[in-house]
Structure 1
Amino acid sequence: MPHPTAISNPDSSTNLIILMGVSGSGKSSIAKALAEHYGYDYLDGDDFHSQESRDRMAQGLPLTDEMRLPWVIRMRDYFRDAARNHQHSTLAFSGLKRVHRDELRKAGTKTIFLFLHSDRSTIQTRVNQRAGHFMAPSLVDSQFDSLEDPSLEADVFEINVQASFDQVLANAIQIIDRELHCQTDALPA
């Protein structure tokens, strides 16, 4: 259901587009495509994890909230610097907890979250077919269990990922152009 827009930090001159959702929802693929489309920097939240956290997830053990917080703080601090440098970015980030989404809102960038979602069965199938990712497929249930519904947060827009990649990407671009006015404000010259 549509809700009034309240983009985080609307007066910032730097955009941050966050693709959020459980593992396997397509965050990285869509964030990369959007970065290419807009000429933004692409970042993956997974790159901010400590080696200890990566090893834990590879063993099929979910992270605790205490383990996630330093990870989110590293991202927040990175994007604070990006805001000072007027570096527009896309970020693939699970964003499962409201407190973590709120931390990224504190970075000072004009922020929008695109919540990529689907049913557990679809996501589990995608994760099972994925090769070369450090997160064990057995963690899909824990991802859904940890997800705090973002649908009432004004800067979060939902996109169902059961559609084709091209349709999901087109939906994302439509939302971004409407909400961040990227067509005129943020594209490189």
Structure 2
Amino acid sequence: MKTSPLTLLVMGVSGSGKSHVGHLLAQAIHADFIDADDHHSQTSIDKMARGEPLDDSDRQGWLLTLADLYRDYRERGQDVVIGCSALKHRYRDVLRQGAPTLRILYLHGSRDTLLQRLGGRTGHFFAGAHMLDSQLAALEAPAETEAIRLDISQTPERLVAQFLALSGINP
């Protein structure tokens, strides 16, 4: 019998596959998936659509909302996976306010791979080399002790299988 619900974060810069891998991971462990992008304010979405990177103050309320979601799931005893950029250590610390035992899958890849993926997107508010470069500049990659780091050159299914094996989570 499981003693506490799983609170998982799939993180990385835009184009790393957070949503796709997060959905697959949630399916594998029978959890809900939440895309953090769905919780941005309209002001932040408009700002990113204009090609303006978000700053820490833009992200604060968004991160608190996500921490509250983790807390709500934990209190209900339900497993949840959230796909979120979580670029900085302090952002992940905010998320841990709602999920003290947060487990993290960090998806990383080359700038060229990320740009190629972003170029294939349609209908998304985040696009372009300038915006990707702003995220790469802001990224504080998690330490090996904080996250399981996997390269996005693998298939999404392989990433999920690897994360589950390395994290010791049995679906």
Aligned equivalent of 2:135, options 121, 132, 143? 143
Alpha-carbon distance between aligned partners in 2 of 1:45 and 1:140, rounded to the nearest angstrom: 17
Structure 1 residue 12: Cα displacement: 6.7
Give the equivalent residue in structure 1 for 2:34: 43
Q: Say if 2:148 is the partner of 1:157.
A: yes
Deviation at 1:110, TM superposition (A): 2.8
161-170 vs 53-62, which deviates more? 161-170
Q: Any unmatched runs of 5+ in structure 1? A: 1-10
- In 1, the alpha carbon distance for the partners of 2:86 and 2:146 equals 13
**1:106 equivalent in alignment to 2:101:** no
Q: What TM-score results when the alignment is normalised by the length of structure 2?
A: 0.92
Unaligned runs of 5+ in 2: none
Deviation above 4 Å: which 4+ runs of structure 1? none
Per-residue deviation, 1:172:
1.9
Partner Cα separation in structure 1 for residue 30 and residue 156 of structure 2? 19
Aligned position for 2:70: 79
* Distance apart, 1:169 and its partner CA: 2.3
Identity of aligned residues (%): 34
1:54 matched to 2:45? The reply is: yes
Equivalence for 1:34: 25
- Aligned equivalent of 1:133, options 124, 127, 135: 124
Check conservation: 1:128, 1:137, Cα contact below 8 A.
yes
Please tell me the residue identity of whatever aligns with 1:61.
E
